[in-house]
Amino acid sequence: MPPRTLLRLSVLLLFVLFRMDSSVAILAADEPKPTPQNTISIEVGEPVPAQKFEHAPKFWIANVTDRSGNPQPLLVLKPRGGIFLDKQPTAIVKDALEQSLKAANLLAADEASADLVLRVYVFHFGLASGSGLDFFGKVEFSTMVKNPKTGESTEVKAAGTSIANGAVRKKNLQKNVEDNIENALRDATRNFLRGAQLKEAVVAWSKASEAQPAAAPASAEAEKPPSR
């Protein structure tokens, strides 16, 4: 190979390597990183009032699982330096539910003393695709309400939505997104606690717990030896 061709090839190779390196650097610069300035804290605020049950059970949240399939659950908004959550969505949902159940005196002290055990699956938390003119906040989760005594489970779905205005300034943008997600979370919590599906689950538990003490003396009598 003549030296001139070799020189040309090496220059070309160097150029390609430089371009690749710079594009990787640009991509890395585009990826937002969480800082205290772009991190928001989502709290449900005042506890959401729950519906009134005839026989109020005690609930226990066993676990909250993220089923959103989102690789970056903390990243709420990517453009303009990004907006991040300070906690995992699962932790935020758990806090919101526990807080509201506690305020309504429906939270058990531990799993053993609970009448109904909840397993929550979060399907969506944060912003969803909107019209582009505003922010569309959406929180969606499904809960398996299990009666530990009978082993029966009922699915209770809950969803909350909120639409907030867009903003130009970063500060306002962050505030609007925060308010929007908080409203959606409050709406979803309310949808769960005041839902007809939860009422049905509690009614089923109530019937089962009424039937058990009635069945117990009957079985005790059956076990008695026949009197002579």
Nearer to other proteins, 41 or 165 (CB): 165
Exactly one of 64, 89, 118, 138 binds other proteins (CB under 8 A); that residue is 138
Name the one range near other proteins by CB under 8 A: 5-13, 22-30, 68-76, 160-168: 160-168
Which amino acid does the sequence have at 203? V
- The first and second tokens of residue 137, run together, are 């906040």
**Interactions with other proteins, residue window 52-111 (CB under 8 A):** none
For residue 15, give every residue at least 6 positions away whose Cβ sits within 8 Å of its Cβ, in sequence order, or none.
none
202-207 own/partner pairs: CB under 8 Å, 24+ apart: 202/53, 202/55, 202/56, 202/57, 202/116, 204/147, 204/152, 204/154, 205/57, 205/115, 205/116, 205/147, 206/53, 206/54, 206/55, 206/57
209 near other proteins (CB under 8 A):
no
Tell me the C-alpha distance between 208 and 203, whole Å: 9
Using CB under 8 A as the binding rule, whether residue 194 contacts other proteins is answered as: yes
Q: Of 197 and 206, which has the nearer Cβ to other proteins? A: 197
- Tell me which of 187, 201, 202, 205 binds other proteins, using CB under 8 A: 187
* Smallest separation, CB 196 to other proteins (Å): 5
Segment near other proteins (CB under 8 A); pick from 33-41, 60-68, 93-101, 126-134: 126-134
